[in-house]
Amino acid sequence: MSTKSIGQEFTKGLWDENPVFRQLLGLCPTLAVTNAVINGLAMGMATSFVLIFSSLVVSSIKKFIPSQVRIASYVVIIATFVTVADRFLAAFFPPISKSLGPYVPLIVVNCIILGRQEAFSSKNTVGRSLIDALGMSSGFVLAMLLLSAIREILGMGTFLGYQVMGPWFEPWIIMLLPPGAFITLGILLALALQIERKAKSWK
């Protein structure tokens, strides 16, 4: 059982236990689909949807899941919501669904979601699990937004498709390619670590 206050339960996902920058979970979609803000945002929203509803279901039926088959049960629950998210995107936002490709179905194996079920929802109340899932989702969406904004602005000179850089700007094509994802994430991780160290030394 978690002993944090409700507020802390939410805010820990934003920074202290941010899934991308502090736990280094869910790096596959973080690296793969952050080449444009719209993709990063859609991926973040889809993952949030799956995480929030899986946490709700797992925390409410945790008493009925035998611990020997808990991982398999979580995966079935998660896969259900992933299918919903995948079909929803394909039906209402076909271009986004197409550009995200296999990464929406792959949310099933996203470590953030399975990790929260195993580490949190299976041990805490429905209310707390919801707050936790909301916090973690927000942290993930923020990370995706940050990464995709940097990559889109440097790689195409645009933000959400709108031109933000002047005509003098020559796009850095590398930022749209895998090396750009790794370089950006590496620099952001280093920055996050440095901020954390500075914050600790002030306390």
Residues between 165 and 184 that touch other proteins (CB under 8 A): 170, 172-175, 177, 179, 183
33 vs 175, beta carbon nearer other proteins: 175
Binding mask 132-171 for other proteins (x = CB under 8 A): --------------------------------------x-
162 vs 170, beta carbon nearer other proteins: 170
Closest CA to 13 of 105, 104, 150, 115: 115
193 binds other proteins (CB under 8 A): no
127 vs 179, beta carbon nearer other proteins: 179
- By rule CB under 8 A, what count of residues binds other proteins? 10
Other Cβ atoms closer than 10 A to 90: 14
190 binds other proteins (CB under 8 A): yes
71 vs 177, beta carbon nearer other proteins: 177
Least distance (Å) between residue 190 CB and other proteins: 7
Residue 120 near residue 56, CB atoms below 8 Å:
no
- Please state the φ and ψ torsions of residue 23, each to the nearest 5 degrees: -95, -15
191 binds other proteins (CB under 8 A): no
31 vs 65, beta carbon nearer other proteins: 31
CA of residue 5 relative to chain centroid, distance: 23
Report residue 169 as tokens: 């700007």
127/105 Cα distance (integer angstroms) = 27
Q: Which stretches of the chain bind other proteins, using CB under 8 A?
A: 170, 172-175, 177, 179, 183, 186, 190
